[in-house]
Structure 1
Amino acid sequence: MTSQPLPREGGSPGVPGASARDPVLLRLQENRVACGAEMAAIFMVGDGLIGLLQPRRHVDLWKDNALGTEKLVKPFVDRPGRRRLYAVVQIAAGLALAARQRR
């Protein structure tokens, strides 16, 4: 089975260009967006579950020297109830995002 090179917008050496309305290019772009949205939904649900079940441990993991996340978790330090509430919202948003995916 020989595969044809995928068309690129503007083309490249040996590969014809594709217009912005090329159906193959549009389908590839839609798939990329769908996969990104699905990955974000999975992250949101997973992170939310961990935050719901182990709020103190999860916040402690990210509160010190964690690549700039210290400011993001500061509102949750020593407030497990607040982290659990955020976790429920995070899980609901992740599930809603996943449910919107059509493919």
Structure 2
Amino acid sequence: MTTPPFPRERGGPGISKANTRDPGLLRAQENIWPARAAEMAAIFMVGDGLIGLLQPRRHVDLWKDDALGTEKLVSPFVDRPGRRRLYAVVQIAAGLALAARQRP
């Protein structure tokens, strides 16, 4: 009798091979959420930076009043689009650097 090409779910020939896993693969899968969170942060940084770069006044105006505490964060950029654009370039670069450090 020949061994089937794929192991059976409930046992049979080759089932022990199906249960062995690559230890490197296990390490990569054990703690995937921090990498996903970092990737999401990088996406946010790049996107927010692009909006701040292209539409600095509109973007700051959106967050300067009644925005759950962000008024203090954006106050250095009110009526200073050049400063917001400079910050946007730094934000985009930091987001790209963070994304580049992530490994699948």
TM above 0.5: yes
Percentage of matched positions with identical amino acids? 80
Cα distance in 2 for partners of 1:91, 1:36 equals 17
Cα distance in 1 for partners of 2:100, 2:28 equals 22
Structure with the higher helix share, 1 or 2: 2
Structure of larger gyration radius:
2
Alignment correspondent of 1:58: 59
Instruction: Give the deviation of 1:88 after TM superposition.
Output: 0.1
What is the RMSD of the two structures over their aligned residues, measured on CA atoms?
1.8
Alignment correspondent of 1:34: 35
Letter aligned with residue 98 of structure 1 = A
Q: Which runs of 5+ in 2 are unaligned?
A: 1-8, 10-24
Distance 1:70 1:90, change over 3 A: same
- TM normalised by structure 1 equals 0.73
For residues 35-88 of structure 1, the C-alpha deviation after alignment (integer angstroms, 9 at most, x for no partner) is: 000000000000000000000000000000001000000000000000000000
1:1-103 alignment to 2 at 5 Å? 27-29=29-31, 31-103=32-104
Total equivalences in the alignment: 81
